[in-house]
Every structure is written in C-alpha cells, then in structure tokens.
Structure 1
C-alpha cells in the first residue's frame, strides 16, 4: 500500500521516500518554520533597520562616510569568520553526530546578539559592529546545519517541494516582522516609547525573540538518527576540518576537467558578490546620502513583498526564455540599479530601485543555482555544491571590501556604490562565455581517477548532499 500523503500548504508529500526514508510530518513543518524564524535577521538586521541605525545612531560620531566604511568592514570580517568556521563547525558536528545541537548553538548566538543590540546607543559603533559580526556568524554558520537537516530528514525526490515551501515562509516571515518593526518605529509616540531610538532598540530585541520563538518547533520536533560508529570515527575536529579543506583543494584541481564549469564559477563569484553587496550596503548608503530613514525601511518592505510574486513570475519566464538569458537580463537590471543609485537624490528614487531589486533578487538566485546544477557531475553534486557554498563565503568578502576601500580613497559613498558595478560587468561578461550545452556534456563524461582502475564521473569519490 502506498504511503498516505500529507499536505504542507499546497504541497502533498508522502511520508516515505523512494529509498525508504521516513519523513516526520511535524519535524518537517518545524524545518519550514525555521526559515520564517531566521529571515527576521536577514531583513531587519542586515537589510533594513540596523544599517539605518548604524549610520544615524551607533556611528553618529564618525566623520564623513566612515560609518558606511565601518559597516562594510564589519560585513567583510564577519564573512571571513564564517568561511573559516564553517568547515570546523561542520567537522565537529559530523564527529558528534548532531547537526541539530550545533544549529541550536548558532541560533542562540545569533538571536542573543540581535537582542543585545538594544543596548547599543549613540556612538557605540564598535559595540554594534561586534554584535553584528557575532549575529552574522550565528546566522550564516547556522544555515549550514539547517540545510544539512533537509538532506538528512527529507527524501531526495521531495526536497525541492519542502525547500520551496521554506523559501516562501522565509519571505513571508521576514516581511511580517519587518512590517511590525516599521510600525513600531513610525508610530513610536502613539505606542508610548520615550523616543524613536528607544523604539528601534526594542525592534532589535524582537528579532532575537522572533528567531528563537519560531525556531522552537524545529528544535523540539526534529529527531536525529544515531548512526553506528564508523571506521575513522576517532578523527579529531581539526583532522576532519583539514579533510574538508582537502576536498576543497581537490575540487579546485579537478576544475581543469570542466572548463565550462570553471568559467561559470568565476562568473558566479563576481555577480553573486555584487548582489550580496547591494543587499547589505544599499540601506546604509541611502542613509548616508540623506534619504529619510523611515522611507528606507519602508522601501525594503516593498522589496520583500515584491520578491515572492516576482520570483514565481521569473520562474515562468525562465521556462519560456531560458535560465541563462533571464539571469543575464537580471544582471543588467542590477547594473542599472547600481548606476542609478549613484545619481539617486530622493526617497522616490530609492523606492523605484527597491522595487527593481525585488523584481530580480529571488529569480536571479534561483536561476544561478539551476544553471550550476547543469554543469556539475551528477555523482558528485553534493561535493560541488559544498564547494560553491564555501568558496562563495570567501569571495563574498570582496564586495564590501571594495566598497570600503573606494569610499576611503575617494571620500565619496557615491563612488563606493558605483564601484560595485564592476562585479556585475565582469560577471555578465564571463557568463556570456559559458557554453552550457558543452558544459553539461563535460559533466556527463566518465574520467578515470588517477591511480585507480575505476572511472568516475569527473574523477574522485562521491560525496552526496
């Protein structure tokens, strides 16, 4: 008898996958709700409220465009720490056989850091930067274990549906709390706050509470299996982390067998860094050139609620025009956003640019991932997606760093935002050089592994996600 399906919104999913993996209904729902929970950090702390607060309050004593420069440096330092810590934390989780424990730990780190931001007052830019670094480490490193739980608890053929549901919940959850936060800031007098600053500080506390509260269904319902001891289970954390970096080096060396994949990854590193930089720098840039702070946050709310329907429409257009063409078009839109941002002078301009970001943000990311999937050897897809995730953490340091250096050298935040255009120009140009048909053929080739009589797709062992 076939397994009885259960529904998650519009998705009807069987409890048991083809490989016999049993899926816990309540646990999977908890996994989806976690996206609702931690998206509050991405919207309120990274994109909307905190950048404005950092510019106007925490960095109020800084001269010129130093607040924006320090904000950019904070992002780079945080992502460097994430890039270094992720393999170490992942190795430790593998050794302890509990990804959930590490997710709980990093969630607490991120949520507490967010709530403590309520104590960052005027001129406390160093304290605010320190908390933000800890928050980003908790958020980004925690997502590594969150993604891994999907692989552990959901059959492969059902992961896309569950993942898509989580993505939708993330858009909605981040948007709902941001709307509440905006109401708190705009109506601070009516709500009884002594000042707008006090209302904003409470906003930061709500992020931590929201994150922990809606993470509870996952933390209390997810049950991890306890595999038996394997040979090599005595490997130390540093040894396991070293093995992770070793696989990273192996992947780099094997790239010569996949020239189209190499070209695409180079393009991805550039344009993805450009997109990430726009996300984390747009609001503080707007604040620095005098855009009203309330309008900045409201514009980001527009981006959030434009993003979900726009992403769905983008997916339909991909089916008609192709992923490469749509991704290329979205990069040109981003290039236009950066160039127009250089000339921006009013809140109306910022609203227009926020709307444009909402139109292409989700679709461009989805297209980029699907194109990458076409170019990787199918029996090593987990390894290559892991390689992309780790390498992207390192390269994501560059965008904010270029912004910071340009702003420091020129003394102009407008020149700094214009410098981000280079990432889209280079990424777009490299993308046009990729032949995806040839790349798919290269990924399908069976290449003998050095020192082995066997042949594997692309060489090397299989490391499934």
Structure 2
C-alpha cells in the first residue's frame, strides 16, 4: 500500500519538497487510510492489553507467589527469561516477515500462542511454580513478539501524516481494554463469595481464562480486515530463516546510511529505559515506602483509565503541535514524576503520580512509535521494529541496575528513584540532535 504512496505522493529524497508539503499531499489521499483496517488494528491493542494488566502487572505476580509457590526472585528470573527470548526472536522474525510479506500471519501465530498460554494458566495449582514459569514465558513471548509485527503494520494501514493519531488510538484502546478487564477480574477475585466461587484461587484461574478468550476474540477483526500481500518469496522454512538472517545482517551494515534513525534509536534506548524502570519498579518502590497492595492496584487502575482519554488527546496535539514537541513534553513530565516521587509519603501522593503517568505514558509510547515508523526504510518495517525491540530490551537493564546500585550504596529507595532522572535527561539531550525531516528523507533513499 505504501509503495504506491511513495511513488505518487512522496517526493524523491533528492527533491526540494519538504516533509510538511508531503504530509499535506497525503492528507488529500484518504484512500491510503482505510478506516476499517485502522479500526481493526486499533482493536488489537484492546485485545492484548488484557494480558499486560492482568497477567503481567496485577494478578499473576501475586498468584505466582501465593499459590504456585514461587518467590520474588523466581518471578524476576521468569521475567528475564521471557525478555531474553523475545529480544532474540524479534529481529530475526521481523526480517523473515519482511522477506515473506507475512506480518499478519506471524502476528496471528504469536497471538494464538499468547492467548492459549493465558488460558492454560488456569491449570496452575499449588506448588506448580515451574509450570507457571513456562506458561508466563510462553505468554510473554506471544505478547512481545506479536507486538513487533503489530507495530510494523502501522506503516501498512495509514499514511505518515496520520500515524501519530492512529498510533495514539491504539495505545488509548489498550489502556481502556486492559483496564476494563482488569477491573472485572479484580471484582471477581475480591468478591469471589458473591459469585459463588470456592475461593480466590478459583477466581484467579477464571481471570486467566478471560484474558486468553478476550485476547483471541478481539484479535479477530484485525485478522479478518488486514491481509498480507501476495508476494513471490516462497520456499522452505530453513530458506526463510537463512534469508531473514541475511536481511538482519544487512540491517547492521545499513545503519550507517541512516544516521538520524541511529541517533533517534540511541535517544530512545535512554528514555525507554527510564519509562520502563518506572513501570517495573513502581510497585516495589511503593511497597518499600509503605503503600498498601490495595492502593497499588487502585493506582494501576487510575493509570489505565486516565491513560485512555489522555492518549487520544496526546495524539491530536502531536498532529497539531508536532510529534517531537509532544515527546519532549512527556519526557519532561516524567522528570517531574521522578522528582515528586522522591518526596512521596502516602497513598494519595501515589494516586496523584499514577494520574500523571496516565497523562503521558501512552502518549509518549504512541508518539515515539509513530516517529520511528517514518524513519524506517521501505520494505523493512517488521525487521527494523524487531531490531528496535531487541536493542531497547537489551539496554533496558540499565535503569533497574542503576536503581539497584544506588539503593545498595545509599540504602535509600528515594535516592535510587531520583537517579532514574538521568535517563530522561540524557534521552532529551540526544533527542535534540535528531532531525526528523532529514530522517524521513533518508528512509526514502
């Protein structure tokens, strides 16, 4: 779809047509933005975000320890193993998907893997830590690897001029969908007697089934509306792997031809690491300073439901004011969050910070995704999204590591949190060096 756009609606990089002029042209080409496909793509975020909230953030971490017999350490190891598998798979799978033109097919496979793993978690009983770990890793591989292809489809369903708003719609629906099912599941778990269930364990097991079912059912619109192109690249599985590995090698060698994209990726590694550290350390930090579990869950719900309208608004403002300006504003807000978090003392403060996170978290992720999509060379969307996923996950240990080292040296969680500000400061400074218009021209070469 975008090939036709690149030939007719986009000037050659050597021309003097600016990116803004090109975007004006694209806005006059509604045929390039199929509303039904965009809607179907957005619904997938609603679908798989249920896994992020119920399995990754709220219910399974508690169930893993209280029922399956795991510990904080074994849960951390499970998360690390899943992240490592996804990081290793994403760039190669992305390269294969670009070679074969099968992004939707790969997304379908990983979605089914994730949804089935979620349902199977209902069979985890007392002491089944290893089974729980295997299923969590499998589910997170389905979730993480699937998102590589989902992000890559953004280039196929909408023109560059509208990617900020479409990307924001996806994240917004993810916040709403994940929040809705989490609220339902928490009501089921906390009110298990009202629903005639024998105990909380049974309620938690039912919640795992709802996640897998929710994920599968709401993925169907995407698989019905969006199809892979009919390409001639057909062959045996080993040939796909060989071709994919070759394309991945080309990615490393070609990066020098896209200096603006490379600068953006380095900036992204830093601010992504800062955002990721806040996400993964928020609950443990809150617990350390005396915030109750019920207040932590309430704060998560606040983030989800504020995130829905805030992300939509963020996307519209990015269209009007510019994506780079809005990304700056979100990173500055994160700096403020870190500083305020240093002084936080009670649950009300935690709620307020959760609200601030909800205002910018989805918007920053959606905008950074849209910016990156415009820098990707044509025909290599899944490959470069996989490469970004691999590198960002590889470097994501930095934030938690700095947090842990500062905590060890200072014996203060507050000082450790304040140290995370460094990642946002460096990310902002590096982002200032990126010329977005030049990056888009380089992508067309």
- Tell me if 1:252 matches 2:252: no
- Tell me if 1:32 matches 2:36: no
Matching residue of 1:431: 428
1:306 to partner: Cα distance? 0.5
Which string of whole-angstrom CA distances, capped at 9 and with x for unpartnered residues, describes residues 174-211 of structure 1?
22211211211221221122222321222122101111
Taking a change above 3 Å as real, the CA distance of residues 220 and 367 of structure 1, as seen in their structure-2 partners, is closer
1:285 to partner: Cα distance? 4.9
Q: Is the 8 A contact 2:342 2:414 kept in 1?
A: yes
Which string of whole-angstrom CA distances, capped at 9 and with x for unpartnered residues, describes residues 287-335 of structure 1?
5766433332222111111012223444566678765555444334334
- Tell me if 1:310 matches 2:296: no
More deviation in 411-420 or 172-181?
411-420
1:113 to 112, 117, 121: 117
Matching residue of 2:266: 266
1:80 to 81, 84, 94: 84
Q: Is the 8 A contact 2:113 2:142 kept in 1?
A: yes
Structure 2 matches for 1:290-369, cutoff 5 A? 291-315=291-315, 324=324, 326-338=326-338, 341=341, 346-369=346-369
Q: Distance in 1 between matches of 2:224 and 2:369?
A: 31
Q: Distance in 2 between matches of 1:195 and 1:141?
A: 34
Taking a change above 3 Å as real, the CA distance of residues 397 and 119 of structure 1, as seen in their structure-2 partners, is farther
- Tell me if 1:172 matches 2:176: yes
Which string of whole-angstrom CA distances, capped at 9 and with x for unpartnered residues, describes residues 258-286 of structure 1?
4xx54443222011122123224433554
Q: Distance in 2 between matches of 1:163 and 1:331?
A: 18
Q: Is the 8 A contact 1:402 1:420 kept in 2?
A: no
More deviation in 161-170 or 125-134?
161-170
Q: Is the 8 A contact 1:274 1:421 kept in 2?
A: no
Unaligned runs of 5+ in 2: 1-27
- Tell me if 1:240 matches 2:237: no
Q: Distance in 2 between matches of 1:34 and 1:435?
A: 33
Matching residue of 1:395: 392
- The answer to which structure, 1 or 2, has the higher relative contact order (CA under 8 A, 6+ apart) is 2
Taking a change above 3 Å as real, the CA distance of residues 176 and 106 of structure 1, as seen in their structure-2 partners, is same
Q: Distance in 1 between matches of 2:89 and 2:131?
A: 22
Unaligned runs of 5+ in 1: 1-16, 445-456
Q: Distance in 2 between matches of 1:443 and 1:220?
A: 34
Q: Distance in 2 between matches of 1:93 and 1:372?
A: 18
Structure 2 matches for 1:210-225, cutoff 5 A? 210-225=214-229
Matching residue of 2:61: 51
Q: Which has the higher helix share?
A: 2
Q: Distance in 2 between matches of 1:342 and 1:31?
A: 39
Q: Distance in 1 between matches of 2:247 and 2:61?
A: 34
More deviation in 90-99 or 404-413?
404-413
Matching residue of 2:212: 208
Q: Distance in 2 between matches of 1:195 and 1:143?
A: 34
How many positions carry a matched residue from both structures?
419
Q: How big is the alpha-carbon RMSD for the aligned residues of Structure 1 and Structure 2?
A: 4.1
2:195 aligned counterpart, secondary structure? coil
Q: Distance in 2 between matches of 1:363 and 1:162?
A: 11
Q: Is the 8 A contact 2:117 2:138 kept in 1?
A: yes
2:435 aligned counterpart, secondary structure? helix
Q: Is the 8 A contact 2:337 2:353 kept in 1?
A: yes
Q: Is the 8 A contact 2:407 2:416 kept in 1?
A: no
Q: Is the 8 A contact 2:154 2:373 kept in 1?
A: no
Q: Distance in 1 between matches of 2:160 and 2:320?
A: 26
Q: Distance in 1 between matches of 2:190 and 2:324?
A: 42
Taking a change above 3 Å as real, the CA distance of residues 420 and 287 of structure 1, as seen in their structure-2 partners, is closer
2:193 aligned counterpart, secondary structure? coil
1:40 to partner: Cα distance? 0.8
